[in-house]
């Protein structure tokens, strides 16, 4: 297992957009931009999605993922993670998306309609690479 280097953890305090790659049932990659968070105590990347979205279905079927992000202040500073989803939970997911909304759009509550329920996707990093240019 790998950890996020301390000198790159600030990316999770900014309005950093990440791209998560999951695998479709036919094995093809599916990549979507996401808001991203990091639980340093658990050493887990956190992605918040909605029940039955394509990425949520994909990780239920195959937990392997890749996540990449670039620093919004320096596009030559990047972090790339491969790992596995080791938990999907609705516990705290609504509160978590509201916290992300505060960081990303300055709103106290997530501004988009929630059709089903929010799901918190916890990703265990197995390999981490980074670059600062």
Q: 6 pLDDT exceeds 80?
A: yes
Domain containing 74: what range?
A: 6-132
Q: 112 pLDDT exceeds 90?
A: no
Q: 56 pLDDT exceeds 90?
A: yes
Q: 8 pLDDT exceeds 80?
A: yes
CATH number at residue 63: 2.30.110.10
Q: Which two tokens stand for residue 40?
A: 């340093």
Judge whether 10 lies within some domain: yes
Q: How many domains does the chain have?
A: 1
Q: What is the spatial distance between Cα 55 and Cα 12, in angstroms, rounded to a whole number?
A: 21
* Helix (H) / strand (E) containing 19: strand 17-23
Distances (CA, A) of 132 to 7, 52, 53: 10, 36, 33
Judge whether 30 lies within some domain: yes
Q: How many CA atoms lie within 13 A of 49 on its CB side?
A: 20
pLDDT in tens, 63-84: 999 999 999 999 999 999 999 9
């Amino acid at each position: 297992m790998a950890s996020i280097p301390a000198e790159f953890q600030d990316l999770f305090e900014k309005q950093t957009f990440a791209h998560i790659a999951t695998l479709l049932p036919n094995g093809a990659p599916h990549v979507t931009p996401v808001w991203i968070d990091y639980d340093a105590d658990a050493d887990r990347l956190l992605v918040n999605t909605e029940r039955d979205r394509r990425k949520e279905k994909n990780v239920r079927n195959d937990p392997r993922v890749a996540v990449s992000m670039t620093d919004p202040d320096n596009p030559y500073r990047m972090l790339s993670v491969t790992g596995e989803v080791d938990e999907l939970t609705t516990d705290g997911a609504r509160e978590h998306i509201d916290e992300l909304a505060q960081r990303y759009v300055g709103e106290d509550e997530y501004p988009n309609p929630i059709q089903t329920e929010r799901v918190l996707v916890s990703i265990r990093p197995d390999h981490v690479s980074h670059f600062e240019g």
